[in-house]
């Protein structure tokens, strides 16, 4: 047997071993959740800056929790029953305080499909989010099964029973402000802890990752970002990407949305079709964000047809004059 054949066989053996190792790891369905303390009493479990996949089990989202003298406030329960259970176990390693409140920031699946792991009485969201979970929850859950496979086993849609109102909420020694905003979806909750200066922005802000837009209203979203920017924030926890003491999630999310809005508008007004738009290269600032090429393609599929229709109507109205 020649050296080349031996090298080939060794390579095959190494690849096979890697595949077996990956399959064994996946079979454990362990998300490896490791809460990171970002302020006093405040922890974040940081997801990966990726798309949903079987490899990550849907763990692309940031979940967070605040430990107070009255109990624990959780912000977003994650993408599956299994994630929710492992998040609850991670919280129990830090505190024996009970789970008091689980807040879902919006109705996208990675933010609420862990709900069933928590006490039903603790689950809370804004009215529009509850309505969205009721309307879209089952189809979202089915889609997550397609994307993440058996990580999702046993996951059932659990709709929050508490309809929360925007405004101040004191929990133990923490003075929270619940902000009812929109733009990423029809209803987006942001939670600002005035005691620590931590802002939990949900998916109104992304960090080093391109924003997702399946239910976006970009002008409304930009208005919501302006509201968040005015807060005296010390630590910013985006829905996706690393928590930070800086303002990068604000500038990155705003820049992407403004660029996307302008690109779509100018393309539609120039009469470019979807294929021509998809062929356009991304500018350097946008291209360096994680998942940028995929999110640009998805955003065009969501948003471009309406922009084309608007450009046609605008053109027709112009000719009428």
Domain ranges (residues) in the chain: 27-247
CB-based burial label for 202 (10 Å; 0-12, 13-18, 19+): buried
pLDDT band for 123, please (50, 70, 90 cuts): very high
Average of per-residue pLDDT across 86-92:
98
Convert the pLDDT of each residue in 159-210 to its tens digit.
999 999 999 999 999 999 999 999 999 999 999 999 999 999 999 999 999 9
In angstroms, how far is CA 140 from the centroid of its own chain?
14
For the domain with range 27-247, which CATH number is right: 3.40.50.620, 3.60.15.10, 3.40.50.200, 1.20.1250.20? 3.60.15.10
- For the chain, give the percent of residues with pLDDT over 90: 88
Report the alpha-carbon distance of residue 284 to residue 300 in Å, rounded. Answer: 18
pLDDT surpasses 80 at 216: yes
Helix (H, G, I), strand (E, B) or coil at 235: strand
115, pLDDT greater than 90: yes
Q: State yes or no: pLDDT of 255 exceeds 50.
A: yes
- 8 Å CB contact between 19 and 27: no
pLDDT of amino acid 15: 62
DSSP string, 152-194: GTT-------EE--SEEEEETTEEEEEEEE-SSSSSEEEEEET
Whole-model pTM: value is 0.90
**CA dist 48 to 5, 11, 51, 185, 291, Å?**
39, 29, 8, 21, 11
Q: Would you state the pLDDT for residue 16? A: 64
Residue 303 has pLDDT above 90, yes or no: yes
Indicate whether 22 pLDDT > 60.
no
294 sits in which H/E element:
helix 292-320
When pLDDT is averaged across residues 245-264 and rounded to a whole number, the result is 98
């Amino acid at each position: 047997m020649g050296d080349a054949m031996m090298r080939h066989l060794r390579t095959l053996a190494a690849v096979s071993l890697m595949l077996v190792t990956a399959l064994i790891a996946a079979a454990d369905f362990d998300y490896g959740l490791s809460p990171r303390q970002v302020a006093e009493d405040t922890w974040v479990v940081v997801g990966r800056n990726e798309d949903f996949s079987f490899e990550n089990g849907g763990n692309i989202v940031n979940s967070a929790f605040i430990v107070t003298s009255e109990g624990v406030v959780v912000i977003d329960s994650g993408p599956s029953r299994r994630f929710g259970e492992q998040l609850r176990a991670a919280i129990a390693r830090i505190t024996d305080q009970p789970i008091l409140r689980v807040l879902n920031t919006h109705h996208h699946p990675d933010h609420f499909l862990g709900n069933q792991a928590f006490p039903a009485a603790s689950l809370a969201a804004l009215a529009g989010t509850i309505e969205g979970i009721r309307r879209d929850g089952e189809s979202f859950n089915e889609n997550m099964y397609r994307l993440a496979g058996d990580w999702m086993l046993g996951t059932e849609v659990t709709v929050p029973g508490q309809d929360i109102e925007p405004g101040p909420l004191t929990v133990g020694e923490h003075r929270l402000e619940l902000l009812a905003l929109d733009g990423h979806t029809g209803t987006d909750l942001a939670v600002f802890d005035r005691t620590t200066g931590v802002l939990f922005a949900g998916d109104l802000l992304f960090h080093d990752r391109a924003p997702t837009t399946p239910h976006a209203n970009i002008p409304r979203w930009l208005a919501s970002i302006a509201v968040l920017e005015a807060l005296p924030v010390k630590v910013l926890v985006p829905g996706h990407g690393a928590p930070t003491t800086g303002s990068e999630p604000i500038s990155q999310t705003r820049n992407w949305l403004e660029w996307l809005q302008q690109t779509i508008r100018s393309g539609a007004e120039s009469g470019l079709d979807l294929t021509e738009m998809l062929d356009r290269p991304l500018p350097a600032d946008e291209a360096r964000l994680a998942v940028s090429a995929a999110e640009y393609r998805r955003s065009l599929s969501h948003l471009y047809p309406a922009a084309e229709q608007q450009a046609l109507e605008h053109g027709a109205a112009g000719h009428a004059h």
